Structure formats: structure tokens, C-alpha cells
Amino acid sequence: MVSVIRIEDPLDPRLDDYRDLNRSDSRPDLPGGKGLVIAEGLLVVPRLCQSRFPVRSVVGFGSRLASFIDEFGDPGVPVYEVTREVLAQVAGFDLHRGLLCAADRAPALSVDEVLEGARSVVVLEGVGDHENIGSIFRNAAGLGVDAVLFGAGCADPLYRRVVRVSMGHVLRLPFAHMEGTRTTWQRGLDELKQRGFTVVSLTPDPAAVHLAEAMAGAEKVALLLGAEGPGLTEHAMRATDVRARIPMAPGTDSLNVATAGAVAFYERDRALRLG
Amino acid sequence: MVSVIRIEDPLDPRLDDYRDLNRSDSRPDLPGGKGLVIAEGLLVVPRLCQSRFPVRSVVGFGSRLASFIDEFGDPGVPVYEVTREVLAQVAGFDLHRGLLCAADRAPALSVDEVLEGARSVVVLEGVGDHENIGSIFRNAAGLGVDAVLFGAGCADPLYRRVVRVSMGHVLRLPFAHMEGTRTTWQRGLDELKQRGFTVVSLTPDPAAVHLAEAMAGAEKVALLLGAEGPGLTEHAMRATDVRARIPMAPGTDSLNVATAGAVAFYERDRALRLG
């Protein structure tokens, strides 16, 4: 039996994790940022509760809490019931999903840890858009990628919008940050090669080989994706084994980075399944 | 030499096409909807000017108009220069892109017209989200799809947000609406078969064949995509030749419909290029 605590005062300090929600999940080094991990809704809250992130509490409308507890059981942390009005006052805006969960950041994983046993990884450089990061995690998880590595210039993957857009897969799929600055992190790509990974860079360059050719026969693949506009840095391109392209129709634009990633993850999975 | 007309009065009737912009591009049958086609920004406005849609005027900040005219030349319609403040008052919100173009809806194309010479088409059922429709057009254009056909229950493809998300490709890639109601439009799929198209439905059903197998060897393909939640109707599934799936990792969700479409368009293009 899960005991649900009803809270009627929006100023109750037990709701502090959800206060001013548009700021509280910012990185701890930013003003007002508590660095909490926040999940929303009946699909993603259970995923946070099952993750490596230490959950602090669950809060929601009565009906949503009932559905959550029905499906998930006891989360082992305080569960607070609030009305829509109280939650809106605490968070600073209306949350129609009516179910939230807060967790602390888990200790960061090392590159070594996330590469353990991995055959397909994606490496991101300069992907600064939260929705793109979220979509990349959703697509990577769905299409069999084992880990995500961050080079320089990427947005925080534990921001609330990333958690939501990824459908919680950012909480499940292992990720790590590669060491170095904007011009030195690429040395980590050499270590990937030493571990047997073929580093495949996605580029709109017509001189690159077809993605299918790039993926054929590689035992371990590290797929390198850059930001849509500027693309990959020269340093990253130089550390690449194979430059791959998705052929585009004349007069069209390159795909969104998350979509291009999905196509590449699919091709990698296809090569592993069908040879 | 393009003559640019400066307008300083936000009430000037020559700006009426851009008034209350969040409503004016709604379908003509909706309240306040003028059914205009609106393009925004330096990438998409030239695409509207080159399209089959009859352009009415171009409006923008001085610097943006200069860039536009520099690149595009004379659009052959009135060009109005306004300040950021005037445009915000007319449109009802701030438009930081600072370049807009309005056109009338062109006569709808028939299914016969858009199928002329087409080898790869996509058919949508119940895709009600404007961003998804926009992304599907962007991905379809980029990955070599020849036309888009609409079954029942889809959002209006000429809504402003679709135009923007599609990067203007909704103005270039031919599309047509199939006749019938929610339960009868699927008869049109039989006509596609009579024209030699293999109707391939994308489904998360594990009993479906791998997408690559579904696409192999087909001369003409009509790819059927449904809404993310409910998927395709039974009627649409019954009119299908091949049920295809993108294999997903255990415990993950199906892909977003536009992303799944991109993967399928890529596989179709791959089959045509690499056999």
C-alpha cells in the first residue's frame, strides 16, 4: 500500500523540487539551476523511477497518481497529491500531464564504462538544440545504438525538455562526455579506433561514400554527427575513418540531425541483421 | 530595379494579408481563415515565389528585403518595406525573421496529375500534427519521393507552420487528396495497385516483414503511413500488399511518424540506387 500525502499549500517546502520548474532543472552551475532531473507523464515517470538516477519524490493529481501506482507500484519515495491549481502555482505554469518526478543527477559515467560491450555508438559534436538531443536518444535507443558520447558544444542531456522528447530514453541509454576542449576532444576518437571502432562521419559532401557502403562489414561503429548548420569541425573530420552521406535529391536541404541519425542507426542495424 | 514601397501605418490595407497572422492562414472554411499561403524567411520566401501558388506580395524589414532582392531579383508583385514594430502590430506578434510572402491557394492537383511519372509516393492517413506533416514533406523531398497523397484525417498541408517546417517543400512537392470518407478513401489504394504500385504499410507489428524486404524489387511503391498513436485503420491495412516494419530494440517505443517515414524513404531510395 503506497501512502499518498496530500499537500494543499503551494508554499509547502516538500514541493520545492518542483518550484519555478522552467529554471530548477537547469545545470547546477547556472543561476537558479538545481541540476535536478525532472520527468513528466505516465510514460516517462516510471522510466525515471527505474533508472540509475536517485529519485527524490513523485507529485501529481489524484487520478494520475492512482494510474501511476496501479501500474508501477511503490516508488519507494514520498508521493505527494496536489490539485492542478496548486501544481501550477508551484511550477509557475500549467502542467496538464499532472504527474512529475524529481531525481538527483547520478554520477557521470566514464567513456570506458559506456563503451563496455558496445558495438554501435553515436558521437555528437556541437548539437546544441535540446529537442534534437532528445530525438537522437529516442531514435538511438529504438534502433539499437548502445551508447551516446558527447564531444564539445552540445546541450545538457538532462534538461527537462530532453527527458520528455527522448521519451525517457536519456535516462536509460548510457552516455558519457569525452574529455577536452572544442579543439582537443577529437583525440578521444583515436582511442575509439584503438578499441576497434570504425569512425564514420555523416556529411552532406557529395564526395563521401553512400551510407550503406560506409557501414558494410564494420564490426564496431562510432557514428559521428555534427550540428545541422556548421556540421562537423575539421578536427573531427580528420579523425574520421569513413565519410558517409545520405544521398539527397537535387535542390533539397540536408536532413535534420536527429532524422539523419535515425537513418544512419537504421542502416547500421540493417547491416548487423541482414549483412 | 525592384521598387520597394515603404509603409509606416500598421492599418494600411495593403498589409491586410499579414494581419492577425495566427488566424489568416487557416483554411478558408474556418473562422477568420483567409486560406492564404504564407512563407517566412530568406530560405522559404524564394521557394514560394518560384512555386505554382500565385504570389500576392512580399513584406519585410529593409535589410531582409535587400538580401531577398539581391538573391532572387524581382518577384513581380508589390514589395512592402516595414519596420519590426509595424510588422509586429500587423501580424499580432514579433516576427524576427523579418521577411514574409503571401500567396493564394493554387487549384488542387488531382491524384492522376501527381501520379504522372511517379515511382515512389507516400500516402498519409490520420496524420493530424502540422509539424509531422511539415517534416514528412521535407524528408520526402530530400529522399526522392515523387508525390504525397492524403487519405482521411490529416492536417491542412498549407498551414503556415507546415510551410516553415517543410522548409518550403510543401510548395514544391506535388500532393493531392484522395476522395472519400474515413472509411471509404482506402478504395483509392486499389487504384494505386491497378497503376502498378505496391502498397507498403509501415506498422510496428513484429509479424510484418523487414522494411528492406518489403521494398526489394518493387518497381513502383506507395508507402502508407498512419498516425503515431492509433496507427493505420483496419481498412487501410486490408488494402495493403506488404506490411513492413522497422525493427525496434526491446522496451522502446516506435519512431515518430516523420522519422519512420524518413527511414522508409531512405530504404526505397537505397533499393533504387543499390538494387
Tell whether B247 lies on the interface with A, counting CB pairs under 8 A.
yes
pLDDT at B24 over 70: no
Strand order in the sheet with B4-6: B4-6, B79-81, B55-60, B99-103, B37-40
pLDDT at B275 over 90: no
Tell whether B256 lies on the interface with A, counting CB pairs under 8 A.
yes
Q: State the smallest CA–CA distance between residue A2 and chain B in angstroms.
A: 26
CA distances in angstroms from B272 to A187, B147, B265, listed in the order given: 38, 16, 11
Which phi-psi region, left, alpha or beta, contains residue A45 (left: φ > 0; alpha: ψ -120 to 50)?
alpha
Give contacts of A247 with chain B, Cβ < 8 Å: 144, 269, 273
Percent of chain A with pLDDT over 70: 96
Give the mean model confidence (pLDDT) for residues A122-149.
97
Which residue type does B60 have?
G
CA distances in angstroms from B140 to A248, B135, B144, B167, B172, listed in the order given: 10, 8, 6, 12, 11
Which residue type does B215 have?
M
Right CATH for A111-274 from 3.30.70.600, 3.20.20.10, 3.40.1280.10, 1.20.58.190: 3.40.1280.10
Answer yes or no: do A266 and B270 touch at CB < 8 A. no
Domain extent listing, chain A: 4-103, 111-274
CB B88 within 8 A of CB B94: yes
Give the mean model confidence (pLDDT) for residues A254-273.
97
Answer yes or no: do B142 and A266 touch at CB < 8 A. no
Report the distance separating Cα B90 and Cα B16, nearest Å: 8
Report the distance separating Cα B8 and Cα B15, nearest Å: 11
pLDDT at B34 over 90: no
* Rg, Å, chain A Cα set: 21
- If 0-12 CB within 10 Å is exposed, 13-18 middle and 19+ buried, where does residue A250 land? exposed
Q: Rounded to the nearest 10 degrees, what angle do helices A257-274 and B257-274 cross at?
A: 60
Helices (H) and strands (E) counted in chain A, each on its own, are: 11, 12
B26 pLDDT tier (thresholds 50, 70, 90): low
* Neighbour tally for A195: CB within 10 Å: 13
User: Residue A65 has which C-alpha cell?
Assistant: 497518481
SS3 content of chain B, % helix, strand, coil (to 5): 35, 20, 45
User: Residue A63 has which C-alpha cell?
Assistant: 487520478
Give the mean model confidence (pLDDT) for residues A159-163.
95
Q: Give the number of A-B residue pairs with CB atoms closer than 8 Å.
A: 82
Give the mean model confidence (pLDDT) for residues A17-35.
75
B25 pLDDT tier (thresholds 50, 70, 90): low
Q: Where are the beta strands (DSSP E) in chain A?
A: 4-6, 37-40, 55-60, 79-81, 99-103, 120-125, 147-150, 175-177, 197-202, 209-210, 220-226, 242-245
B4-103: what CATH class? Answer: alpha beta
Residue A115: its pLDDT value, please?
Answer: 97
Task: Name the phi and psi angles at A143, rounded to 5.
Answer: -105, 20
Residues 6+ apart with CB under 8 A from A91: A18, A19, A20, A21, A100
CA distances in angstroms from A208 to A226, B195, B263, listed in the order given: 15, 36, 20
Residue range B169-190, pLDDT digits in tens: 999 999 999 999 999 999 999 9
Task: Name the phi and psi angles at A262, rounded to 5.
Answer: -60, -45
Tell whether A164 lies on the interface with B, counting CB pairs under 8 A.
no
Give the mean model confidence (pLDDT) for residues B121-132.
96
Give contacts of B244 with chain A, Cβ < 8 Å: none
User: What average pLDDT does chain B have?
Assistant: 94
Alpha carbon B197 to its chain's center: 22
Q: Which of B169, B170, B183 is nearest to B125 (CA)?
A: B183
Report the distance separating Cα A1 and Cα B153, nearest Å: 44
CB B107 within 8 A of CB B27: no
- Name the 3-class secondary structure at A135: helix
pLDDT at B31 over 70: no
DSSP state of A231: B
CB B249 within 8 A of CB B206: no
Q: Where are the beta strands (DSSP E) in chain B?
A: 4-6, 37-40, 55-60, 79-81, 99-103, 120-125, 147-150, 175-177, 197-202, 209-210, 220-226, 242-245
Most B-contacting residue of A136, A172, A259, A265 (CB-CB within 10 A), to test interface: A259
